[in-house]
Amino acid sequence: MSPPGREVQYTESDVIEVFKDRDDYAEPLTASEVADRLGCSRRTALNKLHSLEDETDITSKKVGGRSRVWWIPVRTD
């Protein structure tokens, strides 16, 4: 357990592992689901997801008023 007042640092690799370590690799996830699996706040997960979208294959799609899902595209070629 981390000491009070100090946040655990989550790397982009930690977030990518959330996507790779699933039964259905193609299933999109919400920022809340990523946060739950990492044990961090939704805001922390969302910040990492936005960063990864700019730098990697992780992509997202708006699916409602303020809802967005994230996934790593599955290549078929």
pLDDT digits (tens, 9 = 90+) for 16-44: 999 989 888 888 999 999 999 999 999 99
pTM of the full structure: 0.81
Please answer whether residues 72 and 57 qualify as being in contact, where contact means their C-beta atoms are separated by less than 8 angstroms.
Answer: yes
The Cα 66–Cα 25 span in angstroms is: 24
Going by pLDDT thresholds of 50, 70 and 90, the confidence category of residue 1 is very low
Task: Give the other-Cβ count within 10 Å of 60's Cβ.
Answer: 17
